[in-house]
Structure 1
C-alpha cells in the first residue's frame, strides 16, 4: 500500500473495486482498471458518457473512500480564469491604496508588492487544488468540461500537464503532489485531442440489467424484490426506444425511491403515468410513454419476467 495522510491507495484492481463497493458504487472491471492506472500513473482520468450514468459520482466516492478533500470545478459556458483559478480582492486592494496615500506612503514598489500578496489573493478551485495539503492531494473534479469553450480548454493544458499555473503578479504556483483529477463530459461537443492526450480515457455506459438491479438493491433499501426487477426491466426497455433523453441510473434510483415512498409493490399503468416525472425529464417523452407505448412496454416486461421465473 502506498502511504498517504488519508487512506492508502489500493495496490490492485480488485482493491479499487472493493474500495468503491464499500461506498456503494459498483464499478465494472474496465472502469476499475483505468481508475487503478490513473492513480498509479498519476494521470487525469477523462470520463465520457450520457448524463446520469455515474461519472461525477466516481470522483465523489473516490474522495470519500480515500478520505481526501473533493474540490469541484463545475464548468459552464463563459467560465474564465477569474472564476476557475484566482482573482484579486480589488475592493480590499483599493482600500489599502487609499489608506497608504492617507498615511503618506510614497514607496510605490513596496505598495505594489503588498497589494499583490497572498493576503489579497482569492483562490478559486484550480488554485485551491494546487495549494493542497502536502501528502494529502485532493480529488479534483472538472465536471462537464464540454460546456466550456476551447479557450478555457487550452488554459487547462498547463494545469493537467504540469499541475501548475502562472499568476503574472505573483509567480508560478505548482502542486507539491499531483492531485487525483477526474474530468467528465456529456459529449455535447467534442473535447480537443490535446487535452484528451493528457488523460486516460473511459466511456461510462448505461449499466447492464444485473448491475442496475444490484445498484437498486444497495441504494434503495426499502424497495421489494419484485418491484426492483420490474423497475430495472422497464427502464432497460425505455432505453431501447427513441426518446429525447434516456433515463440514467440516477433517474432509476429516483424512480425506485419514489415508488417505495408510495408503498408500491409492483408496477401498474396508473402508477407509471403518475410518477414518470421522476424518471423522464422531457414532456415529449412523458406524453409518449403515458400513451399506448407505456402500456405495451409494461406488458412486455411482465411477460419476460414471468418467463424467467418459470
Structure 2
C-alpha cells in the first residue's frame, strides 16, 4: 500500500490526520489527534506527558512519516548542556587546520581566527540540525530528565527557532520544525516552557483500543489472545507494581506469546514470558506470588 505524505499546513482536520496515522498503524484517540492537529496548524510545540510506554515517542516517529520529514531526536538526560543540544566546535579539525596553515607560512592571527571559526568546523547538534533541516520533526524526548536549567535553553530556541553562534551570527529556521516534547513526569516541567507548548496527557489505551492496536500491529494475533492480553495488562495497571506495563510492553509480551506458539493465554505460558512484560524482579514476585494468571498446570 502506498502511504500518503502531506505538508503540515495541508492537514485540514483531525479526522484526516487520524487517517494518516492509522495508515501507519498508529491508532490514536480523539484527544491526542486533536492536540497533534492543532500543533501542526498553529505551529506550536506539543508537550505530551504520560506514563512510560504509552506511545508518546511513537507519535513523533509516525508524524515524521506522515510529513515525509526526517525525525531529529534530542534524548534528554541529567547533565545535558548546550554543547550537546545546540552545537559544538570540532576542535580536532580546527587544530589540524591551524597546524597546516602555520606549516604553509600563514601567520596572520585575524585570518587564522576567521578560518578556524568557519561553518565547516561547526558540529550541529539536534536543536541546530532541526533548525537547519526543512522540513523536519524535532523530538525532545523525556524533557523531565534534563536539569531545570536546560529548560531555559529550550525556551529560547522554541520561542524564535533561532540559535546565536557568536563567531558566525544568528542561524534562523527558514521553516520551523514540527516539535514534539515528551515527559514521563518524573518532575514537573516549568510553567514557562509549558506556556510555549500545547499540552496533552496521554493515558493508557482503552481495552477496545488496545485490542485494536494488537490486532493491527501483530496480524497473526487472534482476537481471543488479543482480548485476553488486553484484559491482563489492564488489570496489571491497577496493581501495586513498580512499573505497570505500557502499550510498548504489551506488544512485546504478545509477540513473545506468539513466538512461544500461544493461541490463548494460560498460566504457564504467561509466567514463562513475563520478562517481556514486567522489568522489575519485585513485580514478577508480586504477580506470580498472587497467582495473577491462575494456577499453573505444571
What secondary structure does 1:197 align onto? helix
Q: TM-score, normalised by structure 1?
A: 0.91
- 1:1-310 alignment, distance < 5 Å: 9-133=10-134, 137-295=135-293
SS at match of 1:38: helix
Misfit runs of 4+, over 6 Å: none
Conservation of the 8 A alpha-carbon contact between 1:46 and 1:196 = yes
The 2-side partners of 1:5 and 1:115 are apart by 41
In structure 2, list runs of 5 or more residues that go unmatched: none
Note the C-alpha offset of 1:6.
5.7
TM-score, length of structure 2 as denominator length: 0.94
Tell me the distance in 1 between the aligned counterparts of 2:195 and 2:256.
Answer: 42
Consecutive unaligned residues in structure 1, runs of 5 or more: 299-310
Query: Is the Cα–Cα contact under 8 Å of residues 59 and 139 in structure 1 kept in the other structure?
Result: yes
- How far apart are residue 265 of structure 1 and its match? 1.5
Please say if residues 50 and 186 of structure 1, whose CA atoms lie closer than 8 Å, have aligned partners that are also in contact: yes
Distance 1:254 1:95 in 2: 48
Deviation at 1:149, TM superposition (A): 0.2
In 2, Cα distance between equivalents of 1:202 and 1:167: 33
- State the Cα distance separating 1:268 from its structure 2 match: 1.4
Q: Is the 2:225–2:263 contact (alpha carbons within 8 Å) kept by the matching residues of 1?
A: yes
Q: CA–CA distance in 2 between the matches of 1:157 and 1:95? A: 36
**How far does residue 182 in structure 1 lie from its aligned partner after superposition?**
0.2
In the alignment, is the contact (CA less than 8 A) between 2:11 and 2:41 conserved in 1?
no
| C-alpha distance in 1 between matches for 2:6 and 2:205 | 34
